Amino acid sequence: MSSKPSSTRSDLRDRGIATFTDILNVVAPPISEHEVIQVWLSHDMEGYEGVENLVYRALARIMEQVEGGDLVVNKGNESRPKESADGERDLNAVDGQDAALKLAKANIDDLAKSKAAETEKSVPESSLQNPTTYSHVYLRIQPFFLSHPFAAQPASAESSEPPVPARHLHFLLHLHDPSHNLEHTTVSQALPEKWLELWDEYEWVEDLVAESLRVSVEVIGQEYVVERMGWKKGAKAEAGIDVKGKGKESSSDEEPVNIHVPL
């Protein structure tokens, strides 16, 4: 007698989970085995080589968590050259986080519009013979400077002026996936602006700047994967989604993640 209500509750719970998972998949379907994620990278930094490779490696590391899917990182068509004629570096940073976010969104919108017409003509439609689907993701890296009062420069003993807040460099990263209606923004660790003056003298400056940017790319990439896979909603087990080394056992027939970098 008592097992029947329990069975009914279990059935209702299972149906509820299935329905919830179906809704999640409609809103932002998980990354599939036959999906190609094309990331269009936008930035205006001049003289800083290796930004594209850094982004690719950081995103590739995050994509290793997912069983299936290909990742392609493309360069966006920015108005500024990436290599200055005189070989000097220029971050083309703006002042303040609000200005950085506004500029990042504007650049992403322009890039998405310019690529939309191209991709509609060049990308074949998914079919039984060709089940590959394409997701276009736009990523903007926008450096900006911000003054932090907790890092004020001490005033001299002769001066009666209050300490001057030290300026710090941040990287604002803005990611947009129009087809899945996903948008994420993150800001990097603060780096003292005065370190940039030591760039050519000490290797640790470049190492720390690159590490700060790399971590930020991984964070925003992780946010995207979490949203696509439905992990933060606790639905991965019910949806049968695999996480390498942490999820359900995968068969040996499953294809590994393939990462392609266009030349």
Q: Where are the domains of the chain?
A: 30-149+165-223
The per-residue pLDDT for 118 is: 72
> 94-95 and 164-177: which strand pairing?
unpaired
Task: Report which of 40, 51, 36, 32 is spatially closest to residue 118, judged by C-alpha positions.
Answer: 40
Structure tokens at 253: 């027939």
Dump pLDDT digits (tens) for 129-157.
Answer: 556 788 899 999 999 999 987 766 665 66
Please name the residues in contact with 91: beta carbons below 8 A apart, sequence gap of 6 or more. 45, 48, 143, 169, 196
Q: What is the CATH number assigned to the segment(s) 30-149+165-223?
A: 3.90.950
Interatomic CA distance for residues 27 and 235, integer angstroms? 13
Across the range 56-62, mean pLDDT stands at 93
- Model confidence at 252, pLDDT cuts 50, 70, 90, reads very low
pLDDT at 259 over 90: no
Number of Cβ within a 10 Å radius of residue 88: 8
| CA-to-CA separations, 214 to 165, 173, 194, 208, in angstroms, rounded | 27, 11, 21, 10
Residue labelled with tokens 């005189």: 86
CA 237 to chain centre: 24
